Structure formats: structure tokens, C-alpha cells
Structure 1
Amino acid sequence: MTLRLVQVNFKARDDSALGRFWAEALGWRLSSEVPGVTNLEPHGFDWPDPDGFYIDFVAVPDPETVKYRVHLDLATTSAEHQAELVARLTELGAAPADVGQGDVPWTVLADPEGNVFCVLEPREVYRDTGPIATMVVDCEDPRAQARFWGEATGWTVHEVSDDHARLRSAEGTGPYLEFLRVPGPPAVWNRIHIDLLPHPVEEQEAEVARLRALGATAADVGQGEVSWKVLADPEGNEFCVLGRG
């Protein structure tokens, strides 16, 4: 049994429009199997390729726009690439964002629905991740989060300290998962969350039980009767364990 971290899920006012923005931003392709859900896939991968990484945009009626605990960082290969990417994203509808970052070498933007993300300066550690360098989760205890998520997914812990932790798939492919210490508990629900896929998918219940033994708890976000299970990690960040839909 294994759990694959296969995608991030954005709650959106307009899933189609937000999906189009991110498809243009990343150079990925769009699809949609049901109304209200837009799927984004990198070219050359078909769900659920274990080497792929995906994004889902799901329409919800919540219009609030605030800083959430989860955001994406985009990779660049040179200073010129960073400047070009920021300019292109701005043309697509992104806007500069101030989250108190001060004078830093990366650029903070917000997508058309206000979701904050960063365009990083070139960093060697992200040279082979593809366009998404990392998913960053604000937390109180990076060490504890690294232990939970490392055991939950089998991802390798590459760096851990009191302030920061970095994990990546054991195969060394795709984006990183990082935890950044930020004092205080979460103030709002996460508009962006992680989805895990059991392999084989029939082991969903066993994987949910294993995650709960590691410290996850059941979560109710109004999902009703669905094929996936909603849990929260030890710091209250919701995530889903997918089933056979």
C-alpha cells in the first residue's frame, strides 16, 4: 500500500476562468469531466500517472479573498526568465501582492481570485521540478509536520529545522512540499488543499485508518456523501484521501 500526493485542489468562484489562468501560467492542458470542476494536467501525463502532478479547481459559493495557509511557488531558470514570467502573469490577470515580504528576491503575486503565490528567483534546488517548485504550508511546528507528512506519503525529508522543512517524493520527481513556521493557529479555512491517492485505490479505508493512527482526524467541510475522505493533519490543515469515483 502507498499514498501518492497527486494534486492540489483550489476552491474557486469560477473554476473555468481560474483554470484558464493557471493553464496559461504553467503551460498545462485543461479538461473538465463534470460542471463546476476544471482539471489541469501537465503535457505528457494522464491521470493518475504516479510521476505526474495535477491541479483541480472546484467551484464554491464563497467569495472571500484572504491569505491562506497554503500557496504555490513557481520556479525560474534565470533572472531574465523570472522577469519575463512575472510580466506574462501580470498580463494574464495576476496582480502584485504585499504579504509583508519586504525586500526579497522573489516576486509575490495574486491570481485573479486573490490566491497568493510566489515567482522565485533561480534556485538550484528547484532546477528539475517543472514550473511548480513547491507547495508551501504555513505551520507552527515544521519538525512535527515533516514527521507526519513523511510517514503519511513516504516522501523523503531533505531539510528540517525549527523554522522550515522540505520534503520530496522518494523518486525525486515533481514539486517539493515545504512547511514554514508562522506563529499562531490557522485563522481561516484552507482554500487550497492536498489530495492523496491510495495505490491501489481499493485500500482507501486502510490508508485512512493508518493516517488517523499517525495523528490525522476526520474533518467535515460540508462534503456530504462523496467517494473521498476528508481528514485534517495534526495542525488542522484539511486534505482528501481519494477513492474510486
Structure 2
Amino acid sequence: MTIAQFKDLCMDASDVAAQARFWQQALGAPLVELDGGDARLDPAAGRPAGEAIWVNGVPEPRTGDTRVHLSLRLDEPDPRGLLRAGARLVAEPGDRPWWALADPEGNEFRAFPPLTVEPGPGPAFALVTDCRAAPELAGWWAAIVGGTVTRDEETASITGAHGFPWERWLFSPVPTPKTVKNRLHWDVQLTGPEPGALLAAGATMLRERDEQLGWWVLADPEGNEFCAFPPR
């Protein structure tokens, strides 16, 4: 039995409107403007609920590297559509088969060329998490949300995690430790009433659930923040 299931993503933004409009166009996702100035990108028709992305306004600007991002599959030969929508080109394909781009907030992400076989179900196909120890962190999250871990020479990935809406959750090794709060984080829905099993597995409590906050804020063994919600 798993401890939780994947729920959705949350994205910090200094300019919620610009960030939400960009990702609306990049993902083809319906945009819902929320009270208080935040926004939500709902899954496209027929897509899993876990594709929802909450865009939350924060006062602090982006600093540090982008350690969590989505990888997109283009439906045209190059990323000109993303550039028109507001992305910035960081690097052309070289030894790696993707374009490195940055969204309006400066968060880098990858755009891959179209598939030569049957197109996939949507633009986003992977959630990527940079980390120091990819196999260990992938194994830790698979123990939390289920799924199968596979490894290659550099990376580790999870497929089939409960509630996870994309093809795979990729863990990519980087030499530097995490030093600042991630601008993109994921939420999970607990299978039990309390996050005790998460803490026993090695998570760290950052903020307790209380009358003002309806969820717990925790960090995984590499310090990646995530929110844990009680069962529905």
C-alpha cells in the first residue's frame, strides 16, 4: 500500500497573469483566474486530474537554478510557437536532442522535437527533478506514491505512480545541492489521516497543518518542498 498519490503541481510567480497565460498556451490548458490574484490551469479535456497546475503569486523574485521543470514535446519542428508565447531561448540542441528554454519568470525547461511515430496525448510528457542522488530519490518517491523505477547510465525515472499524469517522473543528477526554495513543487494526497508515515520514511516537516492552512508542508530527503493533503 502506498503512503500517498500524486495530486498536482504548484508554480510560484512574481507576475501570475503573464506566467499563467504562457503556460496556458504552452500546454493548451484551460485557465481559471482565482480570487486573490492566483490562477489555475486545468487539465485539457480527457486528461488526468493530476495535470492541474496552480500558479501562486509570491513577493520574492526567482533566484538559483531551476531544479524542477516539465519537459514538453513539440508539435512543430522547432519551438517558435513557444518563443512567440513568451519563452526565451537558452540553448539550441547540441549533444542533447532538446531546446533549453526559459518561461517568462526565467524558469528553464526542455522542449523536444515531435515524435516520428504516433503523437503523445499532450505537450508535457515528463516531470524532471534535479538532484544529487537520482536512484535513491527516485526509489524514495516510488515507495511513497508507487510505480516502477528504471535506471540508465545517468538518470532514474518512475512510471506508473498513483495519480501521476505524465509518461514519467525523471530524476536527473546534478553536482550542486539545493540551496533555495523551488519555484515549482508538487502536491500529494495522503492515504491516511496524518503524514506520520512520510516522516518515518525520511521526510522533514516544514509547516504543520492548522486552522489557516489545510495541508502539511514537508521536504523530501533532498530538501524538495511538497504539500501533503489529507484524504478526500
| Higher mean C-alpha deviation, range 176-185 or range 128-137 | 128-137
Q: What is the letter of the counterpart of residue 15 of structure 2? A: D
**Could you tell me how far 1:214 is from its partner in structure 2?**
1.2
Q: Are 1:58 and 2:56 counterparts?
A: yes
For residues 127 and 102 of structure 1, the distance between their equivalents in structure 2, rounded to whole angstroms, comes to 23
1:94 aligns with 2:95: no
For 1:133, the equivalent position in structure 2 comes to 125
Residues 160-200 of structure 1: CA deviation (Å, up to 9, x unaligned): 2563111122578534211011113113221111111235x
Structure-2 residue corresponding to 1:234: 221
- Quote the residue 1:70 is aligned against: 68
Once the two structures are TM-superposed, the CA of residue 19 in structure 1 deviates from its matched residue by 0.7
1:147-166 map, 5 Å: 147-157=139-149, 159-161=150-152, 163-166=154-157
Aligned to 2:175: 183
Q: 1:125-168 CA deviation, whole Å, 9 max, x = no partner?
A: 995452111111111111111111001101222x2256311112
| Per-residue CA distance 1:69-115 (angstroms, 9 max, x = gap) | 111110236xxx241xx1011111111115x9854321011111111
Residue aligning to 1:169: 160
Aligned amino acid, residue 218 of structure 2 = L
Please say if residues 10 and 55 of structure 2, whose CA atoms lie closer than 8 Å, have aligned partners that are also in contact: yes
CA distance in 2, matches of 1:107, 1:147: 28
C-alpha RMSD over aligned residues: 3.0
Unaligned runs of 5+ in 1: none
Q: Judge conservation of contact 1:6–1:50 (CA < 8 Å) in 2.
A: no
Amino acid in the other structure paired with 2:151: V
- Post-superposition offset of 1:244: 7.6
How far the C-alpha of 1:9 sits from its partner, in A, is: 0.9
Q: Which runs of 5+ in 2 are unaligned?
A: none
Q: Which amino acid aligns with 2:202?
A: G
Contact 2:43 2:49 (C-alpha < 8 Å) held by counterparts:
no
**Length-normalised TM-score, structure 2:** 0.86
Matched, 1:5 2:6: yes
* 28-37 vs 234-243, which moves further: 28-37
Cα separation, 2, equivalents of 1:56 and 1:134: 18
Equivalence for 1:38: 39
CA apart distance, 1:39 = 0.6
Identity score, percent: 36
Contact 1:216 1:234 in 2 (8 A): yes
Task: Pick closer, same or farther for the CA change 1:52–1:7 going to 2, 3 Å.
Answer: closer
Give the match's secondary structure for 2:196: helix
Give the structure with the larger helix fraction.
Answer: 1
* Alpha-carbon shift at residue 32 of structure 1 (Å): 3.0
Q: 1:82 to 1:118 in 2, by over 3 A?
A: farther
Contact 1:65–1:115 (CA under 8 A) maintained in structure 2: no
